[in-house]
Amino acid sequence: MNHPIPELGEHDGLAYAYFAPAGEPEAGVLILHGAGSAKESHFDFARVCVANGLSALAYDARGHGRSNGAWSPAAIDDASALLDLLRERGAPAVALRGSSMGGFSAILAAAKDGRATAVAAICPAPEDLLLQGFRAGRLDGFEADVAVLIPWLENEVSLRDAAASLAPDTALMLMHAEGDEQVPYTVSQELYEAAGRPKRLLLLPGGHHRSLQHDPEIQAESIRFITRAVRGELG
């Protein structure tokens, strides 16, 4: 199989891989991985983007992979900066796709940026579960600035409010496995209820926390949602 070779680069200490289609991209997609993961884990989705005429940028969040620093509240500013990088590389519109902690960051970054066309979040982890994880030491395998994260997650962040702020300019798609053992599927239900239109909720029976990230049908649904949002086809 002929896989597109990404351009590897660095932006403000963030290691990224940029995938470009053969022609001008219809849009660009920023790909955010989950806790303890890395950009390479989502190259499969980046290649699906390229096959559908989209550019894609996957990157290592701070504290992960080859990026500098520790994961902190600045993760949201990092994602916003990389959305701008996608725009600079010729994307006429941008969207975000994040998994777990990456879904959390994607929604917050889209709310902060205010100009993204769509967000596709898979099993997004809410602030209370992240807070519990950092306090209990369960979120390991990467470097995090826990002393700063705990008060931020406890007092300054509301994923529900961020989701509610996206409409009508940024479409929100939420995907969750009902068998998720780490983040209950009710989290996505609650975010969906808080969000305005355009929005979509996909709840899949069974599965687990990571079962949807690499599912070809879920990837295709994400691409379809983003493309329809870019074309103004969502009600």
What's the pLDDT at 235? 73
Mean confidence (pLDDT) of the chain: 96
Amino acid identity, residue 234?
L
- Asked, for residue 73, whether it belongs to a domain, the answer is yes
CATH number of the structural domain spanning residue 147 = 3.40.50.1820
Amino acid identity, residue 129?
L
CB 96 within 8 A of CB 83: yes
Tell me the sheet residues that pair with 32: 59, 98
Q: Is residue 2's pLDDT more than 70?
A: no
Residue 173 sits at φ, ψ, to 5 deg, of: -115, 130
Which residue from 133, 131, 129, 161 is spatially nearest to 148, judged by alpha carbons?
A: 131
- Asked, for residue 2, whether it belongs to a domain, the answer is no
- Asked, for residue 167, whether it belongs to a domain, the answer is yes
Work out the pLDDT band at 49, boundaries 50, 70, 90.
Answer: very high
- Asked, for residue 235, whether it belongs to a domain, the answer is no
Q: How far apart are CA 144 and CA 39, in angstroms?
A: 17
Which residue from 63, 28, 199, 207 is spatially nearest to 144, judged by alpha carbons?
A: 63
**DSSP 8-state symbol, 41:** G
Work out the pLDDT band at 135, boundaries 50, 70, 90.
Answer: very high
Q: How far apart are CA 212 and CA 41, in angstroms?
A: 13
Tell me the sheet residues that pair with 98: 32, 121
pLDDT-above-90 percentage for the chain? 95
How many degrees, rounded to 5, is the angle at CA 87 between CA 81 and CA 89?
A: 110
Its pTM stands at 0.97
Q: Both tokens of residue 94?
A: 């941008």
Residue pointed to by tokens 């559908």: 52
Domain count along the chain: 1
Work out the pLDDT band at 113, boundaries 50, 70, 90.
Answer: very high
CB 28 within 8 A of CB 54: yes
Mean pLDDT of 159-174: 98
Longest dimension (CA), the chain: 48
- Asked, for residue 1, whether it belongs to a domain, the answer is no
Q: Both tokens of residue 179?
A: 């068998």
pLDDT-above-70 percentage for the chain? 99
Mean pLDDT of 92-116: 98
- Asked, for residue 122, whether it belongs to a domain, the answer is yes
Work out the pLDDT band at 1, boundaries 50, 70, 90.
Answer: very low
Name the 3-class secondary structure at 38: coil
- Encode pLDDT of 54-102 as tens digits: 999 999 999 999 999 999 999 999 999 999 999 999 999 999 999 999 9
What's the pLDDT at 228? 98
What's the pLDDT at 164? 98
- Asked, for residue 211, whether it belongs to a domain, the answer is yes
Instruction: Quote the domain boundaries for residue 16.
Output: 7-230
